[in-house]
Structures are given as C-alpha cells and as structure tokens.
Amino acid sequence: MTKYLLTLLIAWCSSLAWAQNYDMSDGVIKTSHLRSAYFVKDSFFNFGLSFEDFLTSADKTKPVVVHSHGCSGKGGNEQLLRSFYLGLGFNFVMLDFHKRGDAGPSCSGGPNSGFQYFSNLKTRLPARVAELMNHVDVLRSNGFTTIYATGHSEGGMVVQLIKRDVDAAIVHSMSCIPLRDDVEPSHLRLLHLVSLNDPLLVRPDIRHVCTHRQNYTLAVSTVPSHGALADPSWPSKIKEFLGKD
C-alpha cells in the first residue's frame, strides 16, 4: 500500500509540475535575492548570512559566485561547490528557487533509482533565469565589481540563458542548450564542464557540447557521473579559466 500511495503521490506532483505557471510578478522576482543564502567563508556549521548581513560582511573587491541549484534543490553538489569557490577566496550566493512558494523539485530519483524529470522547462526556466538576473542586478547596484554565475544540472541550463553582463559563467554537468543566432549570448564567457558518460544525460537527441558558441571553453570528460566536480581535472580547469592560482 505504501508503495502504491508513493507512486500516486509522485504522479500527482509530476502533473502539477508539468502544468506549473510560475509567478513572474515584480513582487516575486525582485525579492528573490532575499530568499538566498550568502557566504563569505567556509565552516562546518555554516548556514549562510541574510542579504543584509552579507552586504556588511562581504569584501566587495572579491569575486562573488551566484549559484543556481539542480532540479532537486540544494544538496550535496551545492555544498561541494560552496566549499570549492569559498576556498578560492570568493564570496558565494546560493539561490533557492523552491523558497518562492510555488515551486518544488522538478525531478525524482537518481542515476540508479529510476530518475524522472517532469517539469515544463518552457515555464520553469524563464522564472529561474529572471531570479538569477535579479541577483546580478542587485549585487551590481550594491557595489560588487566581479560576478560569476554558476549552475549545476538544471541550474546549468539557467546560466546558459542569462542576459546580464556577468564576468564569467560556469556550467557544471549539463548539456549544451542550442540557441538561435539572434539570441546567442556572444558576450557570455562560459566554461562548460560535462561528461559524455553522464548517466542523467543519456537521451539520444541531447547535444552534450556546443560547437559554435563564442567565448566558449569546453572541459569534457568520460567519467560516468553527474557530479558537479565529477572529473578530478575540473577544479584546475576552473582555476585556469578564472585566472586563479
């Protein structure tokens, strides 16, 4: 009975997510930065600062990484990336799309447990991109001079679609999003980290890498993992890309 009810619950949640129209009003989008967690250093018991505390604590001369999580929300990959980028001496902002009130996970399971992605990207991605761009606008207006946008999995789709002047973008374990030439973000300096053997990027029509994008650096792997830093060479690739020793 429990298994049956769980199946029904997943199906119900899936149908809601597929039909979801997210609130795009200014009241939601332009307050998205208040729902994020902010970090200036790494520690074991570190739940992040509020936006107001971050403004008074952060060194604005250091780069700030604005990170978009994957389809299941903040998890182990986000904690890993937080520690990595803080270890480079950067500030770190962890977005939380699910805190807006009308959004939740857009996937269930994992590589070894029947992974399912059930959201409507035509409505979900615009909402996520708008929230990311609001973060960039707010940080710029408050004196942060160097901003990097990063994203893992679904968040990696988000950063490929950003229409803001960030200093660099890094896609962690997500395939290339093909774009029309007239909307191609030619200004966006992008590092693309992806494995050709990623167990969650197995559809035959998926284009793993971009072949024509400008200002594009590829770090391809064959490691069978969807991890944000799945390949041992990726941390050094990121440091090289960002000019960080």
Evaluate whether 208 touches 156 at the Cβ level (below 8 Å): no
- Quote the mean pLDDT of the chain: 88
| DSSP H or E stretch at residue 39 | strand 37-39
Three-state DSSP class for 100? helix
Backbone φ and ψ for 190, nearest 5 degrees, come out as -125, 135
Q: Where are the alpha helices (DSSP H) in 49-120?
A: 51-57, 76-87
pLDDT of residue 101: 87
pLDDT of residue 172: 98
Considering Cα of 179, then 176, then 20, then 35, what sign does the dihedral take? negative
The count of other CB atoms within 10 Å of the CB of residue 34 is 11
| In the chain, where the domains are located | 2-242
Buried b (16+ CB within 10 A) or exposed e, 142-175: eebebbbbbbbbbbbbbbbbbebebebbbbbbbb
pLDDT, tens digit, 9 for 90 and up, residues 78-135? 999 999 999 999 999 999 999 998 888 888 887 777 788 888 989 999 999 999 999 9
pLDDT of residue 47 exceeding 60, the answer is yes
pLDDT of residue 106: 86
Tell me how far apart the alpha carbons of residues 149 and 138 are, in angstroms, rounded to a whole number. Answer: 14
pLDDT, tens digit, 9 for 90 and up, residues 181-192? 666 555 789 999
Span 202-214, average pLDDT = 82
Q: Name the CATH code of domain 2-242 (choices 1.10.540.10, 3.40.50.10260, 3.10.20.30, 3.40.50.1820).
A: 3.40.50.1820
Q: Which structure tokens are listed for 49?
A: 């600062």
Q: What percent of the chain has pLDDT over 90?
A: 67
End-to-end CA distance of the chain: 56
pTM value is 0.88
pLDDT of residue 14: 43
Backbone φ and ψ for 141, nearest 5 degrees, come out as -70, -15
pLDDT of residue 206: 81
pLDDT of residue 46 exceeding 90, the answer is no
The neighbouring-strand residues paired with 195 are 221
pLDDT of residue 10 exceeding 70, the answer is no
The count of other CB atoms within 10 Å of the CB of residue 54 is 22
Residues 6+ apart with CB under 8 A from 172: 77, 81, 150, 151, 152, 153, 155, 156, 193, 228, 229
